[in-house]
């Protein structure tokens, strides 16, 4: 957790483009399958219908020739012979006399809906639910000849539609499964990269993104990010080294100067005007020594070289001691410090945690406004320390940076610009206890420190 408000998780599933793509691709495939196979089905139907019509017309021509050559009786015998031969079980014949009497055929009566005029093509449904397609031919004596077939199109259409549905379902399932597997793999890789980047953002500057052996675009991206992180870490280390070296090198002469001022102050009478000037200079050098000590302490914390002892303590007691120390200072400024302290025991470096509370209270007193609220308690298997003032807060853009060393918000928030070390030290102490710290504006600046009740073994070394 970093300073400022929590960032939204870019890999949240409902908004993830990978899962939307995994859903959209099978749907697109289904549309493509429909667009490709449906015209094929229509073409096949037209081809079968044309073949059926051609066969029926050819048969009518043959029967008509039989009628012209040998008469009506020969036509009747030919129709009966074709029915008995059963060469085509789906063939339908019906020959009616001029008075409507049935002369031959395998239909009991003229189909309802079939036309009675000459050379009329029809398509209808019989009593058995089958479609019949055929043509009517009127002979010279007024006799009517119906030649048709039970259409194979209905069965063909049903079979093809079933096959299309099964094929489309199989294609959608296979493409969806493959897409989901691929997207899940890509999502895991990007989530891993995002988690590593988040850890680096939270201060684990030695962490790096995983670079696989495949050498694909994501590995190249991870490599580029790692190079950028290396450069950032190098610059941060250089800055920290310079500030630490300066603090270390200047501390000795400043200590000598402070001691000399103290000696001169002790030898100067109080009624001497020089006494006040020496006292002010001594106070300024003491404040500088305090800043340098904080810098060195922060450098040791960031380097993992702090050797403080962890003992089980009650954070409520430590907070009460810090509040008791700063309550008189708050009263002199017309402000109060209220507390809601619940017993919260965990293993910490007591001196460091006391320093953390001191810095939070000093920050609220010197840079905040209004009364100060201090809260200590447990929440979700963690110890929470919250210090909130009721001032103007800080700009939203500054929330993410107030824990950087030497960073100072606009001096208009308070009359004391400070050194920019206090909150950086708070962050260092928190991270030394494997905790997290964040800041937010809630009617003033609120800083929350979260410490795990059971810190990792590496952090408790």
- Read off the pLDDT of each residue in 360-378 and give the average, rounded to a whole number: 92
pLDDT at 410 over 50: yes
Q: Are residues 154 and 278 in the same domain?
A: no
Which of 178, 202, 226 lies at the terminal end of a domain, its last residue? 202
Which of 159, 176, 202 lies at the terminal end of a domain, its last residue? 202
Q: Are residues 374 and 255 in the same domain?
A: no
Q: Are residues 352 and 374 in the same domain?
A: yes
Give the chain's mean pLDDT.
79
Eight-class DSSP state of 139: -
pLDDT at 7 over 70: no
- Read off the pLDDT of each residue in 100-123 and give the average, rounded to a whole number: 83
> Which pLDDT score is estimated for 327?
92
pLDDT at 412 over 60: no
pLDDT band for position 395 (cuts 50, 70, 90): confident
User: Mapping DSSP to helix (H, G, I), strand (E, B) and coil, where does residue 370 land?
Assistant: coil
Q: Which two tokens stand for residue 44?
A: 């096949």
Q: Are residues 300 and 313 in the same domain?
A: no
pLDDT at 44 over 90: no
State percent of the chain over pLDDT 90.
14
- Read off the pLDDT of each residue in 196-223 and give the average, rounded to a whole number: 77
Report how far residue 333's alpha carbon sits from residue 365's, in angstroms, rounded to the nearest whole number: 9
pLDDT at 10 over 70: no
Q: Are residues 219 and 179 in the same domain?
A: no
Q: For 281, phi and psi rounded to 5 degrees?
A: -65, -40
Q: Are residues 396 and 322 in the same domain?
A: yes
Report how far residue 100's alpha carbon sits from residue 421's, in angstroms, rounded to the nearest whole number: 114
Q: Are residues 109 and 132 in the same domain?
A: yes
Q: What is the pLDDT of residues 424-436, one digit of tens each?
A: 888 888 888 888 9
pLDDT band for position 295 (cuts 50, 70, 90): low
pLDDT at 109 over 90: no
Q: Are residues 219 and 347 in the same domain?
A: no
Q: What is the pLDDT of residues 130-180, one digit of tens each?
A: 778 888 888 887 888 888 888 766 667 677 778 777 877 887 788 778 877
pLDDT at 371 over 50: yes
Q: Are residues 190 and 214 in the same domain?
A: no
CB within 8 A of 301, min separation 6: which ones? 425, 428, 429, 431, 432
Which of 65-79, 91-105, 123-137, 442-456 is least confident?
123-137
**CATH number of the structural domain spanning residue 405:** 3.30.565.10
Classify strands 382-388 and 337-341 as parallel, antiparallel or unpaired: unpaired
pLDDT at 210 over 60: yes
> Which pLDDT score is estimated for 16?
59
Which of 248, 283, 305 lies at the terminal end of a domain, its last residue? 305
Q: What is the pLDDT of residues 176-192, one digit of tens each?
A: 788 778 878 887 888 88
> Which pLDDT score is estimated for 300?
65
Q: Are residues 225 and 359 in the same domain?
A: no
Q: Are residues 184 and 49 in the same domain?
A: yes
Residue that the structure tokens 């001032």 belong to? 391
> Which pLDDT score is estimated for 461?
39
Query: pLDDT higher for 42 or 307?
Result: 42
**CATH number of the structural domain spanning residue 242:** 1.10.287
For residues 152, 158, 159, 160, the Cα torsion angle rounded to the nearest 10 degrees is 100
Domain interval for residue 85: 1-202
Q: Which two tokens stand for residue 399?
A: 């929330």
Report how far residue 96's alpha carbon sits from residue 138's, in angstroms, rounded to the nearest whole number: 10
pLDDT at 220 over 90: no
Which of 141-150, 251-260, 288-297, 298-307 is least confident?
298-307
Q: Number of folded domains in the chain?
A: 3
Q: Are residues 419 and 369 in the same domain?
A: yes
- Read off the pLDDT of each residue in 197-215 and give the average, rounded to a whole number: 75
> Which pLDDT score is estimated for 455?
60
Residue that the structure tokens 């590496």 belong to? 458
pLDDT at 384 over 90: yes
Q: What is the pLDDT of residues 225-279, one digit of tens each?
A: 888 888 877 777 776 676 666 666 666 787 788 788 888 878 888 788 787 888 8
pLDDT at 456 over 70: no
pLDDT at 2 over 50: no
> Which pLDDT score is estimated for 337?
93
Is residue 185 within 8 Å of residue 18, measured between CB atoms? no
pLDDT at 411 over 70: no
CB within 8 A of 325, min separation 6: which ones? 358
């Amino acid at each position: 957790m970093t300073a400022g408000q929590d960032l939204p998780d870019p890999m949240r599933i409902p908004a993830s483009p990978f899962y939307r793509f995994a859903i959209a691709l099978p749907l697109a495939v289904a549309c493509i399958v429909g667009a490709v196979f449906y015209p094929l089905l229509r073409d096949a139907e037209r081809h079968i219908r044309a073949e059926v019509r051609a066969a029926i017309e050819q048969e009518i021509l043959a029967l008509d020739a039989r009628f012209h050559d040998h008469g009506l009786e020969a036509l009747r015998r030919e129709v009966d012979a074709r029915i008995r031969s059963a060469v085509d079980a789906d063939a339908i014949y019906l020959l009616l006399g001029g008075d409507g009497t049935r002369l031959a055929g395998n239909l009991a009566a003229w189909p309802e809906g079939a036309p009675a005029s000459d050379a009329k093509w029809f398509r209808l449904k019989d009593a058995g639910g089958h479609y019949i397609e055929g043509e009517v031919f009127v002979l010279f004596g007024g006799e009517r000849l119906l030649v048709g077939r039970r259409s194979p199109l209905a069965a063909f259409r049903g079979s093809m539609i079933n096959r299309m549905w099964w094929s489309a379902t199989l294609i959608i399932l296979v493409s969806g499964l493959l897409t989901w597997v691929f997207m899940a793999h890509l999502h895991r890789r990007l989530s891993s990269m995002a988690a590593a980047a988040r850890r680096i953002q939270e201060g684990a500057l030695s962490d790096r993104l995983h670079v696989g052996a495949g050498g694909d675009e994501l590995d190249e991206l991870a490599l580029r990010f790692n190079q950028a992180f290396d450069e950032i870490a190098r610059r941060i280390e250089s800055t920290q080294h310079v500030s630490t070296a300066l603090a270390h090198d200047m501390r000795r002469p400043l200590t000598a100067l402070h001691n000399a001022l103290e000696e001169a102050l002790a030898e100067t009478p109080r009624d001497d005007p020089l006494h006040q000037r020496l006292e002010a200079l001594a106070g300024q050098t003491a404040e500088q020594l305090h800043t340098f000590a904080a810098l060195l302490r922060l450098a040791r914390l960031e380097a993992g070289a702090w050797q403080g002892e962890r003992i089980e303590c009650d954070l409520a007691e430590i907070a009460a001691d810090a509040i008791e120390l700063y309550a008189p200072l708050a009263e002199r400024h017309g402000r109060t410090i209220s507390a809601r302290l619940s017993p919260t025991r965990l293993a910490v470096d007591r001196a460091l945690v006391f320093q953390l509370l001191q810095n939070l209270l000093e920050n609220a007193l010197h840079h905040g406004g209004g009364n100060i609220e201090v809260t200590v308690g447990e929440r979700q298997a963690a110890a929470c320390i919250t210090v909130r003032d009721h001032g103007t807060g800080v700009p939203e853009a500054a929330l993410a940076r107030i824990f950087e060393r030497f960073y100072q918000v606009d001096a208009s928030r308070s009359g004391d610009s400070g050194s920019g070390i206090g909150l950086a030290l708070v962050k260092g102490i928190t991270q030394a206890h494997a905790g997290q710290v964040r800041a937010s504006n809630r009617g003033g600046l609120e800083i929350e420190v979260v410490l795990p009740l059971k810190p990792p073994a590496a952090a408790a070394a």
